[in-house]
Each structure stands twice: as structure tokens, then as C-alpha cells.
Structure 1
């Protein structure tokens, strides 16, 4: 199978999985409307999707550093879909938390191994990884539309229909895994040339934490915030959430292209600086201009996304799966841990007051990126194949990537 075909199928499969990350926030207004959940309660549901993911995803990353587990891709895709599909079946808050957490485990299991497979299929190309990330962003963007089409017509009792994308995604990854079987075997026994830069990786991870707090905080509350600002229109809130995810799709592709012209650290640094201003506009500037700032914020947060994943891999060339599990999982999920705090502040004051501190987060990411070097791309050594397989030997053996 040609590289472009593999990346295309993996990107679509990535979209099918990340629908279930976006679906959690997309279901929040319906949980509030049908079950009268408080802001703190719906924040707890977002936390349920994030908490297990934050713990489990690095574990799967460590495992993929030791063994290839391609079977995880279809299995975890189905698990992510089943959890969300069951979230509207019972009125029990405890059961809802449990099945949403189950979906989070599925999403967590998917990303480190899919990152490894995608980088292997792309031979380490920044642009290809950008397209792979684009798939995930499109999944996020489609989530509010899909949820609205299903749930708005018949209520939460129709959530079992949301399992359909999972079935499609699981089927799409199978031909890619078969095609890459021989390629993975050809890289067996190679080692990665390059030293781990743990200090830079820690600073990178802190920057990703700050990004995560902004993105998950906004994805949880931007729909409700926009509804308040636009005179109670649920359609306005759904549109804002859709734009938040759609802007991420634009940012992912743009990030890979910009990194081919400038280095990844520079592109990420300037993206975060611009994002700080756009978040301020989103929170404080009234009227329809809010939609523009939602798009700018989303693009600014996602331009560095795939770049941060490959930076993490290059800072830890001997532990690429671990790096992927942390940058895609642990750090990204921290935002879910902060989300209940935002909800609690909003319950006591207002959503605008609760969202205002998010302006500081991209500014902190910018400061952290000012201290980071651009790493050299690690090389694979030992028994490097000749001819057509030689290109594979120039990408890390145990690669990555939401």
C-alpha cells in the first residue's frame, strides 16, 4: 500500500476515534437540559473521560516501546464508541460516568500505538503527521454535528446510534495494519541513535499541559458560554463548538506546512503568543466577533499539536512510545482535571469570570517554548536495509501519533 493511502486511511480512522473525545463535550448541553446536571456535574463527566486516559495512555506508550500491538487499533476504536453509545441509556449519573470513562480508556489505548504506526507509515514526515492529526481534529469538529443530528432529534436515548463511526474506523485500520506488517518486521532489531533530552521533554510537557487546560476548558464550556452570549440559542452554542474543532483541523495542516519552512519550536512559540490574544478576545469581546476568536484560538492551539508530538519523540528517541503516551495522553488529559474547577467557579460567579484565567495558559506555553532547542532528528542504526527499505531506517523505530 502506498504511503499516501496508508496515511489517508489512518487519518480517517483517527477521525472516527476522536469523534468520541469531542462527543463528551458535545453531550454536555443535553445532559444539562434533560437531566438538570449542574456545571460541576457535567465537568465531572468530562473528568471521567479524561482521568483514566491520563493514567492509562502513558502505560500503553511504555508497552508499545517494547512490543508492537497493532490489534489495539480496532479494539480501542470500538471500545471508545461503545462507551459513548451507552452514555445516554441510563439516567444513573454513576453509570454515565462509568461508560464515559470506558470510552476514555479506549481512546487512551488507541493513540500511542496509532502514533507509532502513523509515523512508521509516514517515514517521519512532518506534513504526513500533520494530516494524521487533521483526521483527529475533523473527528472533534464532526462530534457536535453528529451528536446534534442524533440526540437533538430523539434525546439521549438515541446515543446507541453513535457507535457507527467506531465500527467504520475499526474496519478502515485493518488494511493498513496488514500492509505495514512486513515494514514493521523489516525494522526489527534496529536501535535509535541519539541521546534522550529529558529536561527539554519535561518543559515541552508543561507547555502541552497549559495548552490542554485551555482547549478542554473551552471545549467543555464554550457552547454554554456562547448560548448565554447569544440570547439562549442552542444552535449558536453548537456552532461555536463546531468552529472550535474545525479551527483545529486548519491549524494541524498549517502547522506541518509551517514546520517545513521554519523549525517546530519557532512555529509553536509564535502560535502560542498569538493564541493568548485570541483567547482574551473570545472571553471579553461581545457580539458575533466571538466566532472569529473561537476559530483563531482553535487554529493557534492546534498549529503546534502534531509538532509537539514529534518534538517529544525526538527529545526521547529511545522511548518514542512513552513520549507519545505522555504528549498525547497524560499532558493533554490534565485539562480534564482542571475542568471541574472551572465549573465550580462558574457556579459561584459566572462563566466569563471562570474562563478569564485561561488567557494566561498560552502565554505560559510561549514562555516555556522560549527555553526549548530544536532537536536533531534521530537516526536508526544496526542492520540498516538497502535499496527501497533504506528510507524506513531513517525514521525512529518506535514512533507515534489526537
Structure 2
């Protein structure tokens, strides 16, 4: 199983206090940003009916959204390591605002793809810098800070289907434009966050609080690759549920669209709750343990899910979302501890890879669903968390700040 890798002697630097007001603000902005993204995905049944789309075309919408985010995020993360751009957070949300308006008034399928791409560009600008700000505000509690930041995003993701069911589905596609106010609110919050971050960058640079672990660069790169494989299994499974759970429930149980969206909300609400737990647990018991318990531990629930009735499925959705989501904050901070000099690049890589694997997966899963049906899709994807066995090789590189 996992072996402990002692850290190199750390510089005698006292950790700065955790800036909870900043973390709260960046979490609220993350909530609003991801709410807008989730709203788009939640409206796939509406788009399918309005434009007579196949499952493969639905998958391509996600691909346009996720790939623009996946390709740009690592590049932006690397750029901000060299030259921080705190006010870029406002610009990123501006792209999302324009994307929403394109989706609201889209007359055809091509405009849906363009709107999705703009939302993806907004996400690619937002996530690396905002994750870097969360790390700056973390003090000696990076896991907790990453969870606070990410729970905002997952909360927004959970709220998307609920708002889609309550507002957009009854009032039609054009009502997406009403959420432009959400984008404007996010831009106001991010302006103040950017001003705080800019002030931090003007201060004299302190010594590194924690050095890299005593591992060769090749071994650290190998561990990074293992984390990305685990990320792929996690986000491909979530892509199958986020994009096709509503269709699955409508097909299998003959649910109306609004009821199916409420079940999707259950899953995404549980994801938000699990995210809040994963970071602080990693601070206490080691991030490697949280990672393998989360991904491998969810496999019994995902395998059972297609074989039970609607009532038990609702319970399993809560369990799956809660357990599976706790891994992501631990993964991000684990990777940041492997490469502490590349916080922006690592954040961009992980958020970008998450979006990219979900996007490519959604497109491929759409073709699978067209040929074999959504029932078979949900059943086959239930095996993906078994890849969590790879997490058992991760050593403990958890480092605590000096007192």
C-alpha cells in the first residue's frame, strides 16, 4: 500500500493566517460561474427537443464547451505562474456572459456550439487564477481552502438543474438570458477579489513555505500521470451522469423532464457536499488516503445503481456524488505539493484535464448511447471507478506547515 515519503526540511517561515473572507468571496464567484455552466448542460433535453438533436450532437455541445476549457486552462495557468493576472477573473466571466446570451437567442445548432465554446473560454480564464488565489489565501490549510473554493463551484453546478427545472424549462430557451444578471454579480465579486490578489502580488515575495517532497522529478511526474488517470475515471463517470442521467430516467421510468432534473440535482448537491469534506480530510489523514477511499470506495454504489428501482437510485445518487467528489480537492492539493513552484500550471492542468476528459467522454458516450441506448451506457460506466485501484500506489507526500 502507500508508503510515507518524508519532506525535505522546510524553511522556517510562519504560515500566514487563512483568509476566510477572501475564500468566501472566491467560493461565491465560483458558485455563480459554475451555475451558469451547469445551466447550459441541464438544458440538453430542451435543446434536443427544440433542434431535433441526436445524442451524438448533444455530446458535441459538451465537447465544444469542455475542450475550449481543457486546451486553454493549462496554458493560462503556466502564464500566470510567470505573470499573475488577478483582474482576468472579471474578463473570464464576461466571456461566460456572452456565451449565455448566444445560447438564449441561438437560431440553430451552430450557434449552440458557439455559445458553448464561449462559456468554455470563460471557464478556462476563471479557474487557474481563482484556484491560485485560493492557494494564496489558504495559510497553513491548503486542503480546506481548496474545498471551500471548489464547493462553491459544485454548489453552482448543483443549482443549475434546479433553476433549469423551475425557470428555463417552463419559460423556454430565451429565459437563459435572464441569468446575465448572475454573470454581472460574479464580475462585481471578482473585481474585489482581483484587487486583493493584486495587492498580495505587490508585497515582497516570501520564502517558499514548503519545498517539494524528497522524490526525483521522474517519480513526481509518474505520480502526476497516475493522478490524471484517476481524474479521467472520475470525470468520465460524472460526464455520463451529468449529460445522460436525465435521458436515462426519462427512458427507464418515464419521468417528465422536470422530475429528471430534480434527480440530477440530488447527484450534484451530493457532489458539492463531498467536495467540502475532501480537502480538510486530506489535511488531517493524508490526501493519498482520501483519493483511494473516494474513487475505489464508490465502485460498489456505481455498479449497483442500474439494477435497482427509482427510490433506491435516489439514495445511491446521494452516496455516489458525496463519496466520489471528495477526491478532487485532495488531488489538486496533492499535485500542488508535488510541484509547489507551479501552482498556476498545476491548477490549470487539473481543471483543464477535468473539462477535457469530460468533454471527450461526453462526445464518445453520446455515440455509445445512440448505438446501444442510455441504459447500457449507465451500466458500463459504473465500472470506471474500479480504476481507483491505481491510487493505492500513491505515497504520502502530505506536508504540514511549521508551527
TM-score, L = length of structure 1:
0.89
Check conservation: 1:217, 1:336, Cα contact below 8 A.
Answer: no
Structure 1 runs of 4+ with >4 Å offset: 189-192
Aligned length: 380
1:255 to 2:272 alignment: no
Aligned counterpart, 2:236: 213
Mapping of 1:261-340 within 5 angstroms? Answer: 261-340=284-363
Distance in 1, Cα, partners of 2:204 & 2:313: 49
Aligned counterpart, 1:155: 172
Check conservation: 2:102, 2:111, Cα contact below 8 A.
Answer: no
Residue 261 of structure 1 and its aligned partner are, at CA, apart by 3.2
1:375 to 2:397 alignment: yes
1:42 to 2:42 alignment: no
1:178 to 2:187 alignment: no
Cα offsets for 1:155-191 (capped at 9, x unmatched): 1122211222111111112223323333232353755
Distance in 2, Cα, partners of 1:44 & 1:141: 22
Structure 1 segments unaligned to the other structure (5+ residues): 380-390, 395-402
Distance in 2, Cα, partners of 1:189 & 1:50: 36
Aligned counterpart, 1:386: none
Distance in 1, Cα, partners of 2:354 & 2:140: 22
Other structure's SS at 1:123 match: coil
Distance in 2, Cα, partners of 1:55 & 1:179: 28
Aligned counterpart, 2:211: 193
Aligned counterpart, 1:133: 150
Distance in 2, Cα, partners of 1:124 & 1:75: 30
Distance in 1, Cα, partners of 2:258 & 2:120: 27
Distance in 2, Cα, partners of 1:131 & 1:59: 25
Distance in 2, Cα, partners of 1:14 & 1:231: 34
In structure 2, the CA distance between the partners of 1:8 and 1:202, relative to structure 1 (3 Å rule), is same
Distance in 2, Cα, partners of 1:284 & 1:341: 24
Residue 297 of structure 1 and its aligned partner are, at CA, apart by 1.2
What RMSD over aligned residues (CA atoms) do the two structures have, in Å? 2.0
Check conservation: 1:209, 1:331, Cα contact below 8 A.
Answer: yes
TM-score, L = length of structure 2:
0.89
Q: 1:347 aligns with which of 370, 379, 382?
A: 370
Distance in 1, Cα, partners of 2:181 & 2:356: 25
1:144 to 2:161 alignment: yes
Check conservation: 2:303, 2:383, Cα contact below 8 A.
Answer: no
Check conservation: 1:226, 1:237, Cα contact below 8 A.
Answer: yes
Residue 96 of structure 1 and its aligned partner are, at CA, apart by 1.2
Check conservation: 1:314, 1:375, Cα contact below 8 A.
Answer: yes
Q: 2:115 aligns with which of 83, 96, 99?
A: 99
Other structure's SS at 2:110 match: helix
Check conservation: 2:169, 2:258, Cα contact below 8 A.
Answer: no
1:245 to 2:262 alignment: no
Cα offsets for 1:62-110 (capped at 9, x unmatched): 1111111101111111212321232131221112101111110110111
Distance in 2, Cα, partners of 1:331 & 1:177: 25
Q: 1:166 aligns with which of 183, 190, 208?
A: 183
Residue 281 of structure 1 and its aligned partner are, at CA, apart by 2.5
In structure 2, the CA distance between the partners of 1:377 and 1:131, relative to structure 1 (3 Å rule), is same
Check conservation: 1:317, 1:378, Cα contact below 8 A.
Answer: no
Check conservation: 1:54, 1:330, Cα contact below 8 A.
Answer: yes
Residue 288 of structure 1 and its aligned partner are, at CA, apart by 1.6
Distance in 2, Cα, partners of 1:169 & 1:9: 10
Residue 154 of structure 1 and its aligned partner are, at CA, apart by 2.0
Check conservation: 1:150, 1:161, Cα contact below 8 A.
Answer: no
Distance in 2, Cα, partners of 1:52 & 1:295: 30
Distance in 2, Cα, partners of 1:201 & 1:159: 39
Other structure's SS at 1:86 match: helix
Aligned counterpart, 2:386: 363
